Each structure stands twice: as structure tokens, then as C-alpha cells.
A and B are shown apart, each in its own frame.
Chain A
Amino acid sequence: MPRTELLQGTLDLLLLRVLVLGPNHGWGIANRIRQMSQEGLSASQGSLYPALHRLEIRGEVTSEMTPSENNRRARVYTITTAGRRRLKVEQKGWEHFALSMRRVLETE
């Protein structure tokens, strides 16, 4: 299955979705997206970190430098209440969008 480029605006949704599962660092998040989409999606890593930082400035995630498994410091991101709220909204929006797309595409 070919990897799909992310649609504009969906990266935030993915990041928040992953972080709902628990705090994680950037690489972990990217990995998780790959796994959960069964290698179908990959966050362009060049936009991953700016996106995370943007979320942090908007107050939807918080971050902390913590020692990781192999003794390197890593920035670990945690979703906030505002982030969860946003996720809900974006998720609904996305479902609506996907449904509409399918209707259009499947209409004979």
C-alpha cells in the first residue's frame, strides 16, 4: 500500500489522537502514526516538530525534557484538556468530511 501524503490540517488531528493514548516523544509519535495507520500514513518529519511546537504554544499539549530509555534527554509531549477538546472537534469535522467525500465518490 503506497504511503499517502497528509492532507493539509490533518497532522494536528493525528498528533492529538496519538497523544490521547499517553505522553510520548516526537519520534515515538511518528512511529505510532506509522504503526496505527499500518504504514499507510507517515508524518513528513520536517513538519512534525514545528507542528508539535505550534500545538504547545496553543496550549493543546505541554512538554518536558525527560531522560529517555537510552539515557538521552528527549522532549516528551502530553495532551492537555484543551487538546482533548480540540481533538473532539477536529475528529467530528474529519468524520463529517470523510463521510461527505465517500458519499460523493460512491454516488453512482
Chain B
Amino acid sequence: MSRLIAYLRGIARRRRIDVEIDEELAFHVEQETERHIALGLSPADARREALIGIGGLTQTREASRLVRSTSLDAIWRDLQHAIRSLSATPAFTAVALAVLTLSIGATTAIYSVVDGVMLRALPFPTPDRLVAVGEQHIRSASAQDLNLAAPQNFLDWRAQQDVFTGIAAIGYASISVRPENGREPETLEAQAVTADFFPVLGVSPIIGRTFTTESEVDGRAQVAVISYGLWQRRFGGAADVVGRLLPGQRGDFEILGVMPPTFAYPVGASRSTEVWIPNVFRPEDRVRANEYSYRLQVIGRLRDGVTLAMGQARMDQITAALAAATPHWFKDRAAKVERLDEYLTRGVRTWMFMLLIAVAFVLLIACVNLANLMLVRASVRRRELAIRSALGASRADLARTLLIEGLVLSLVGAALGVALAWAGAAVLRAAIPPEVPRIADISIDLRVLAAMAAVAVASGLIFSAAPVLQFSRPVTGPAIARMLRAKTTPALQWLRGALVTLEVALAVVLLVGAGLFLASFARVTRVDLGIDPQDVLTVRIRPLTGAHNWQLAQQRNRGLLENVLQRVRAIPGVDVAALVSGGMPLRGDLRTIDFGIPGRLLPRGEDLDFNEVSADYFRVLGVPLLKGRFFDQGDRGGGEPVALINEAAARTYFPGDDPVGRIIEFDGARRIVGVVGNIRHDGPETDWRRQGFIPLHQSRAVGATLVLRLSRNARDIVPMVKSAIWTQFPDLALPDVEMLSGYLGNLIASRRFNMQLLTLFAVLAVVIACVGIYGVITYSVSLRTQEFAVRLALGALPRVIVWSVLGRALIYLGGGLAIGLAAAGTLATLVSGFFFETRPHDPWVYTSVAATLVATGVIAALLPARRAARVDPLVALRVE
């Protein structure tokens, strides 16, 4: 609006200027006419004489107006000039715009991810007062410790601490809701929290209230606070929601309150929590027996005036007092207080910084490239500038012309970059591995965008105006002639060469990074898992049991599970079906139990992974039988207790022996009937585990996971499998339906993400660097056209010309490679933790990077080189 006013004012002012100039000139003519009359001329002659004297009214008016016109006019003229001259060189403009767009877009998108995940303050009042309190193992140096607390310790901390306004414990819970109105039963993401949870975070419900410590006891805990999202989704935002019931399958929860729409904890999780219920402390949670269970996340809010160090000191005191009473509970363990935001993002910090650095390299290359493009362009325009300077344009005029051109280019590029950043952030948010905290917080930050755009624009501007420096004094005749001939100066040429070398070096660093991640990823995917995860559907069946009728439930469920198995076997497309309980490979669950061999003394605490499986389990997963036999239909409740062990267990406990037929202590005495192949239970980056298996029919399992090898699309089969399960377990929620390959995908998701992103950056960098090489070589060829023409005319072979051009490119490439490889070698060791079975100085990676770069660089240089060799001497020499 204000711009419009300024514009209109400019027009008005221009009109006024015109009027005034006319008036001034009219006055002059009038006076002059009178003077001529006084000298004795007739009025008509006097007027003619006066007009001749002023040299034509219109020309004079135009000349005056040019001088008097506002700077707005000048800028408008320059703007039109800039647009004309940019569209006159579409190749240059397109390349510059592409470089700007890609770099601004990529940098902003990545920075937005890092900012959302890690840099932005937590969305709670005075977030810097929030801390996490947890127990840490002193000896284990790993900073990745989960830092959870045992309920016993939490209760004592809460009772004794005086440095926090409150501390709260958060445990995992999930609530299965009974199906209503024909909807499938659903499982809500829930947290079991203590009463201080809401006050500590400093957020109150928008409707109703939250619960108090009174509710932390069994029997009084059937209350819930729900999220805004659930309120809208399930209750249609009803105003009378407080007091209504959430129909849980283990009892109804009375709704006490609704949290504001912005409230989320954990902050920005990929799957948000919808229900908060009281964390119930059982009687055994209040005494320190011999069983430890570290399962609570503890958060607190520091009192005003209490620093982190003071909080830590007080917690140390409290822990020391507790340790004096029950030493075995605190052996090598200490309480640790740390900022909540750091606690939440600890696992991803280095990773995020690495991404940031990688994208900064892209931005840097782009800026360097832009500078180079501008320099080349400016050199080409020295003739034009020299002529304009000779015609009276001041240095400021020339600088303004060039700057406005740079500005137009940069702003258009920045605008396109913004568009790309929006799209890019959305893509990244979808692609980022779900374990990354605060994913939902990722959004484009306008300040970030502005900063990135400013960097790119500034680099374009600075270098666009660089050639003006040569016109520090008015250029006179001989100097113009010299400039028209020379076209460039050694200093500019050197600068261009240095910039291209720098581009190559930066590209090399990114290429090496990408290469190392690619190699890691390739190795991860080639790891032998011991199973074939393709086309295996897994459905977890977790029936509900009350603790009091455990045995009854076991017997009943075993029959129901068997029925389910029969039914799914009949589904067309299900080739093999089996059930597994205990630990399901790649899903992250694991059960181990004590293991012994009668008559042998094994070290205390030897345990073996414990899996309860049905007969066809190994066939579904494709695990080979190495010795003996698999389970069969005979291995039932009444039969001899049997077990299978895997190769790793056999090798550890029966080295050089045949384990088949031996008796082991493994959930009772069992006879080993076979040895099966190893499975990488926790994913490709982990070792084999020692595993044992028992028949499901001889186990006490109450639930199991259905594993099905499919020969048809899972989408067609899942509904049939679900209804088969519901015939036996009506209304059971089935939240975990997933292909085994999907679980594998989750395990390597962050690797895939890193690899894809770095590869993208590296490709971008190489393309930009090649554009740089191409541009500089093309330009140097254009400078030497006459030289080549003379040499060709004198009989030089085209091959020789090509080589003399390529030579220069090779100097840039060689220099850039040397610098880049050295820098990459140093940087790679810093991030070696991200690599899998790939050394940071993997010679294969470095060699292929060098080869790739030289090859693409030479191709980029070859195009102008061949053009140089095809110069027609006659045409080229006629030009001068």
C-alpha cells in the first residue's frame, strides 16, 4: 500500500517537474523574445530567434528532464534494462536461477527440520526451567542411556526434593477402546502420568480438571484427561464431555478434562498421545526388593532461583542418603538432572548437526558458483561498461545497473527457493524416520528463510558489482580501446579459477560423505539376517487377561490361537502360517530366561533368548534346520518337553559336540531335538544372539504373533486375517499389523534417510560444480578464440587445442580434488559413528569419488574444448 502511494507520488512529482521545466523554458523564450524586440526585430522574428537560441524547445526539455528526473525513474530504467539483458542471456539466467533455487530451497528445508527437532524452544511456559531427572549407570559411558527411573526411587525423590516446583513420572500405557457403532476396536496412545505432570509442564486443561495424587492408587485410577484431538474425533467436541466415559476394554475411564489443542507430550511425536491416565503405584513399587524395574521417565520444573547445578547437587544428596539405606540398589548408579530439551533430542543431535553442515556445504557451493557466474558475466560486459563509462555514466550509474541486475536475479531465485523449501519440508517431514523426536514441530521458519535468501542474494550482489571497481576513474580514449581488446584482467581470471577449485573441493567433501553413507547402507542391506523378511505378514494378538485367571486364560487362549491358525491357513494367498510368542525378530521385543545344562557349571546368569513357536515358524521365516528335526504335531502338552537351539547357542554351549538329544534346563528340563540357523534378532547392525525355542503347545503363552508367508498382496489378505481373529477373540484391538519387511525398514530408516539426503546433496553439488567448470572453461575459450584460430590456421591439430583447454580444467579439478579429499578425510572421522562396517577412509569410496568427479568435470570441460577445436579461422579472425 505504502509502495503504491510512493509510486503515485513519483508519477505526480514527475508531472510537476515537467510542468516546471516547461514553465522555466517558456519564461526564457519570452524574455529572449523581448530582448530581440528591443534590439529591433519584429515580434515574429524575435520569437523565432529566441527559439533557435534555445536549440529546439523539445530537445531542451527532454535534456533537462533527464537530469532532473527522480532516482525512481533511473531505477525503473535500470530494472527494465536488467530484465532485458537477463532475458537476452537465457542460459546464464536459467543456470543462475536453478542454483539459487536449489540451494535456498534445500538449505531452508533442512534447517527447518533441524530447527523443529532440536533448536526451537519447547512449547511450554518458561521451557528453560524444565528438566529431566533420571538414573544413570556410572560406568557405562554411553550418553545414549535411556535415563529412566525406578518407581521406588521416584517416590522417594518426590517426597524429599525441594529444588523443583514438582516432579512427575511418565510411564507407557495404551488403552484399547471397545468398538462402538460398528467401528473397529482401536488402541489409543496413552501415557500413565503422576498428578504433577500437568503443573510441571505448566499447562492447564481447557475444560474440566486434571487428576491428583489421590488417583495414583489402584481402584481410583479409572479417570482420564484426553487430548483436544480425541475430544473432537470421538466426542465431536461435545461441551458436556467431562464426566462421560471412555469405554476401555479393562474398564471405563471417567473423563476429567480436555487439554488445549497445542498441548503435546512427548513434544511433536510422530504419533501423538491422546489419553493421560494416572500412573498407579502398586504396593511392590513402594519397597526396595531384589527386583529392579527402570520404567519411568521423570520430568521436573526447577524452582525460581535454582540452577541446574543446584538441582543436581540436591539430587546427589538425596541419592546418597537413599544409597546408605539400600546400597545394592544404588551400586554404580546416580541420579542425573539435565535440561529437558537436551534430554529429548540427545540421540539425534550429532546427526542433525551433520545434516546441517552437509546442506551448508551445498549453500556454500551455490554461493561460490553464483559469484563465479556473475564474474564471468561481468567480464563479458566490460565492453558495454567501458562504452557507457566513456559516454559519461558515473561509477555509481554502472554499479546501480549491475546491482539491480543482480538483485532481480537473486530475488526471483529466492522466491523460487521459498517455493521449493515449502515443498521440501513437507517431503522431509514424511520421509524422516519416526523415532526422531518433535517431527510434528517441523515447519518453515520465516526468519530462517529470510536468512538463507539473504545469504544467497548478498553473494550474488557482491560479485555482480565487482567489475565496477575497475571504473574508479573516468575511462579515457586509449584505456577504452585497451579494455575493448583485453576483455579481462589477470586478477579476475585468477579469482575465477580459485572459485571453481573451491567448488570442486566442496563437492568432493559431499561426494565422499554420500559415498560413505551409500557404502554403509549397501552393507546394511546386504547383511545376512538369517531370515527372509519379504512377504511375511505379522499380526500381534494380545488377548486381555485379568491376573487372577491367568491359568484359565492360558488354556482357553491356546485353543483359540490354534483355531485362528486353522482359519488363516484356509485363506487363499497364505502359504504358511505360524504363531510365535516371546521375541519376534526385528520388532524390538525380546524375552530371555535362565538357561542351564544339568551336570555342567555355567556362569551364573547365563540366559538364552526364549521363543515359543508353532511348528511351521521356521518355514515361514525361512530359517534352515542344521541338525535334528523341527517341532512337529507330536510336540504337544502331554509329550516330552523339547527345545530347539540355534547355531550360536550350540557353538557356545556344545563346542565340538552334537547337542541333539541333550537335556537342558530351559523353562524346565527339555530335550534338544534340533539345531536351527542363526537370526539377527535385533536387525542387521547387531550380532547373532544365542536363542532357544520351545513348542507353543508346551508353553504358558497367553498371546502370540501370527506370522504368515504370503503369495498375494497383503492388502487383500489383512481384512480376512482380522475377521478370522475376531471369530475367536471378539472385539480385540489389533494395532500391530505390519509386514516383517516393514519392521526391517524401520530399523534402517535413519540410514536410508541419511543416505538419500546426502546423495541428493552430493549430486546437487557435483552438478553445480560442473556448471561452474563449464562456465569458466567456456569463457576462457571465448577469450582465446583468436589464438585458437591462428593456431589452427597455422596447422595445429584440433586434438592439441582440445588438450590445451582441458589442461586448465584438469588444474581446477586436481586442485579441488586434493583439497576436498583432505578435508573429507578429516570430516569423515568426525562422523564415523554413522557408518556401518565402513572405515572413514575407505579407499574404494575415495577412489570412486575422485573418478566420478574427474569424469564429470572433464565432460563439462569437453563441450567448450571441442567447440574451441572447431573454430573456423576465417570467421574468427574476421571479427577483429
Contact = CB atoms under 8 A, between A and B. Distances in A.
Of the listed residues A46, A49, A65, the one surrounded by the most CB atoms of chain B closer than 10 A to its CB is A49
Contacts of B56: 46
A23 interface: no
Interface in A22-78: 25-27, 30-31, 44-47, 49-50, 53-54, 56-57, 65, 68, 72-75
A75 B31 CA distance: 13
B121 to A, nearest CB: 51
Given A65-B20, A72-B27, A46 B67 contact: no
B28 A57 contact: no
B63 A57 contact: no
Interface size class of B (residues with CB under 8 A): 20 to 34
A24 B63 CA distance: 21
Interface in B40-71: 53-56, 59-60, 63-64, 66-68
A27 B55 contact: no
Contact of B63 (A50, A68, A73, A74): A50
A59 B99 CA distance: 43
B20 A49 contact: no
A45 B28 contact: yes
Given A27-B32, A45-B54, A45-B55, A74 B24 contact: yes
Contacts of B23: 65, 72-75
Contacts of B66: 50
Contacts of B35: 31
Given A44-B55, A46-B54, A27 B28 contact: yes
Nearest to B62: A50
A72 B54 contact: no
Interface residue SS majority, chain A: helix
A68 B68 contact: no
B313 interface: no
A26 B24 contact: yes
B338 interface: no
Given A73-B23, A74-B24, A49 B55 contact: no
A30 B32 CA distance: 10
Nearest to A73: B23
Nearest to B54: A45
Interface in A14-28: 25-27
A6 to B, nearest CB: 13
Contacts of B28: 26-27, 30, 45, 49
A74 B67 CA distance: 18
Nearest to B25: A49
Contacts of B30: 72
Interface residues of A, number: 21
A49 B27 contact: no
A50 B62 CA distance: 9
A68 B64 contact: no
Contact of B55 (A46, A53, A56, A74): A46
Given A25-B27, A26-B28, A72-B27, A49 B53 contact: no
B31 A27 contact: yes
Given A46-B60, A46-B63, A75-B20, A53 B27 contact: no
A44 to B, nearest CB: 6
Contacts of B26: 72
B466 to A, nearest CB: 27
Nearest to A49: B64
A66 to B, nearest CB: 11
Given A50-B66, A50-B67, A27 B27 contact: yes
A50 B59 CA distance: 11
Contacts of A57: 67-68
B530 to A, nearest CB: 85
Nearest to B68: A53
Contacts of A54: 67
Contacts of A75: 20, 23-24, 27
A24 to B, nearest CB: 12
Interface in B4-37: 20-21, 23-28, 30-32, 35
A64 to B, nearest CB: 11
A56 B25 CA distance: 17
Contacts of A50: 60, 63-64, 66-67
A31 B30 CA distance: 13
B15 to A, nearest CB: 15
B666 to A, nearest CB: 99
Nearest to B64: A49
Nearest to B23: A73
Contact of A49 (B31, B32, B60): B60
B498 to A, nearest CB: 40
Contacts of B63: 46-47, 49-50
A31 B25 CA distance: 15
Of the listed residues A44, A50, A68, the one surrounded by the most CB atoms of chain B closer than 10 A to its CB is A50
Nearest to A25: B27
A49 B30 CA distance: 15
A50 B68 CA distance: 8
B67 to A, nearest CB: 4
A46 B60 CA distance: 5
A68 B27 contact: yes
Contacts of B21: 49
Contacts of B27: 25-27, 68, 72-75
A97 to B, nearest CB: 17
Nearest to A31: B35
Nearest to B61: A49
A54 to B, nearest CB: 5
Nearest to A53: B67
Contacts of B24: 25-26, 49, 74-75
Contacts of A46: 54-56, 59-60, 63
Interface in A67-106: 68, 72-75
Nearest to B50: A45
Interface in B111-134: none
Nearest to A69: B31
Nearest to A28: B31
Interface string B285-325: 00000000000000000000000000000000000000000
B38 to A, nearest CB: 12
Of the listed residues B26, B31, B32, the one surrounded by the most CB atoms of chain A closer than 10 A to its CB is B31
Nearest to B66: A50
A17 to B, nearest CB: 20
A32 to B, nearest CB: 12
A87 B55 CA distance: 27
A53 B66 CA distance: 9
B64 A53 contact: yes
Nearest to B63: A50
A74 B20 CA distance: 9
Of the listed residues A45, A47, A54, the one surrounded by the most CB atoms of chain B closer than 10 A to its CB is A45
Contacts of B31: 27, 31
Contacts of A45: 28, 32, 53-55, 60
B284 to A, nearest CB: 90
Nearest to A51: B67
Contacts of A53: 64, 67-68
Interface string B531-556: 00000000000000000000000000
A50 B63 CA distance: 6
A63 B23 CA distance: 14
29 contacts: A25-B27, A26-B28, A27-B27, A27-B28, A27-B31, A45-B28, A45-B32, A46-B60, A47-B55, A49-B21, A49-B25, A49-B60, A49-B64, A50-B60, A50-B63, A50-B64, A50-B66, A53-B68, A54-B67, A56-B68, A57-B67, A68-B27, A72-B26, A72-B30, A73-B23, A73-B27, A74-B23, A74-B27, A75-B24
Interface of A: 25-27, 30-31, 44-47, 49-50, 53-54, 56-57, 65, 68, 72-75
Q: Which 9 residue pairs are nearest across A and B when measured between Cβ atoms? A: A46-B55, A53-B67, A27-B31, A50-B63, A45-B54, A27-B28, A49-B64, A75-B24, A74-B27
Given A26-B28, A27-B31, A49-B60, 10 more contacts: A25-B24, A27-B32, A30-B28, A46-B54, A46-B63, A47-B55, A47-B63, A50-B66, A74-B23, A75-B20
